[in-house]
């Protein structure tokens, strides 16, 4: 199936008020151009070098989302280009983003990644850690970071019951602190589980293989 048809099909079933990030990691420029020609402007990448290279070539009105684990020494190079960082998973990373953004006189949109899954491979704050941070107000000193919401990845499992439970745990945290931090986005749901995520009130989904086909690493 073509990228154009995939995207059209997805847009038909996904409500308009849900932000769709097209995850283009490992995919060529030409694939991004196809989605772009249909009006898709939000693209997700998980490697800094790849994101920078693609951004150099592609139209400037594309909004680049950094969705993968971000190393602090890469923050400086990505800040001038990135629209939103979905994967802030430590206070030290917050600090680095804030300091570099201050130098650029910018305010950077971020999501805080929460480790909601049973898998050992995922990054993110634990629920206990982030709750103690939220209660302590220690994020308030990061004036150059706009905390736009929370992001989580569910376990890789066929068991919908587990996925749903994980999404609901993130929704609960989101709702608890939504007012205090003026959250806008609850980013959860990938190709395999976005329908469950939407039922759990996700308003930002990140789809790769559903749009661009499976990836060969």
- Which residues sit at the interface with ligand PLP, rule CB under 6 A? 23, 25, 46, 67-68, 153, 190-192, 206-210
* Residue among 48 and 67 whose Cβ is closer to ligand PLP: 67
Residue, CB closest to ligand PLP = 208
Query: Which DSSP helix (H) or strand (E) runs through 148?
Result: strand 145-152
* Residue among 25 and 54 whose Cβ is closer to ligand PLP: 25
Give the nearest distance from C-beta 171 to ligand PLP in angstroms. Answer: 17
Q: CA 30 to CA 179: how far, in whole Å?
A: 41
Which residues make Cβ contacts (< 8 Å) with residue 98, sequence separation at least 6?
141, 142, 143, 144, 145
Q: CA 65 to CA 46: how far, in whole Å?
A: 8
* Residue among 55 and 111 whose Cβ is closer to ligand PLP: 111
Q: CA 165 to CA 135: how far, in whole Å?
A: 24
Max distance between CA atoms of the chain, in angstroms, equals 50
Query: Which DSSP helix (H) or strand (E) runs through 176?
Result: helix 160-181
* Residue among 9 and 141 whose Cβ is closer to ligand PLP: 9
Give the nearest distance from C-beta 65 to ligand PLP in angstroms. Answer: 9
125 DSSP assignment: B
* Residue among 47 and 106 whose Cβ is closer to ligand PLP: 47
Q: CA 158 to CA 152: how far, in whole Å?
A: 17
Give the nearest distance from C-beta 46 to ligand PLP in angstroms. Answer: 5
| β-bridge pairing 19-23 and 84-88 | unpaired
Q: CA 110 to CA 96: how far, in whole Å?
A: 13
* Residue among 106 and 156 whose Cβ is closer to ligand PLP: 156
């Amino acid at each position: 199936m073509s990228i154009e048809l995939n995207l059209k099909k997805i847009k038909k079933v996904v409500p308009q008020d849900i932000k769709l990030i097209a995850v283009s990691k490992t995919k060529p420029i030409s694939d991004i151009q196809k989605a772009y020609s249909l009006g898709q402007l939000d693209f997700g990448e998980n490697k800094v070098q790849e994101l920078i290279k693609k951004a150099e070539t592609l139209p400037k009105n594309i909004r680049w989302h950094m969705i993968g684990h971000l190393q602090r020494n890469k923050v400086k190079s990505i800040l001038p280009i990135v629209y939103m960082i979905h994967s802030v998973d430590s206070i030290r990373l917050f600090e680095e983003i804030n300091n570099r953004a201050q130098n650029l006189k910018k305010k950077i949109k971020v999501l805080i990644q929460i480790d909601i899954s049973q898998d050992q491979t995922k990054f993110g704050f634990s629920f206990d850690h982030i709750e103690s941070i939220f209660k302590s107000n220690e994020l308030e000193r990061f004036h150059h970071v706009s905390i736009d919401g929370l992001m989580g990845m569910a376990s890789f499992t066929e068991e919908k019951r587990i996925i749903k439970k994980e999404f609901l745990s993130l929704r609960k945290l989101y709702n608890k602190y939504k007012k205090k931090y003026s959250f806008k986005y609850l980013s959860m749901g990938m190709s395999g589980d976005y329908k469950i995520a939407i039922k759990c009130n996700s308003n930002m989904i990140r789809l790769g293989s559903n749009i661009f086909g499976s990836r060969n690493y």
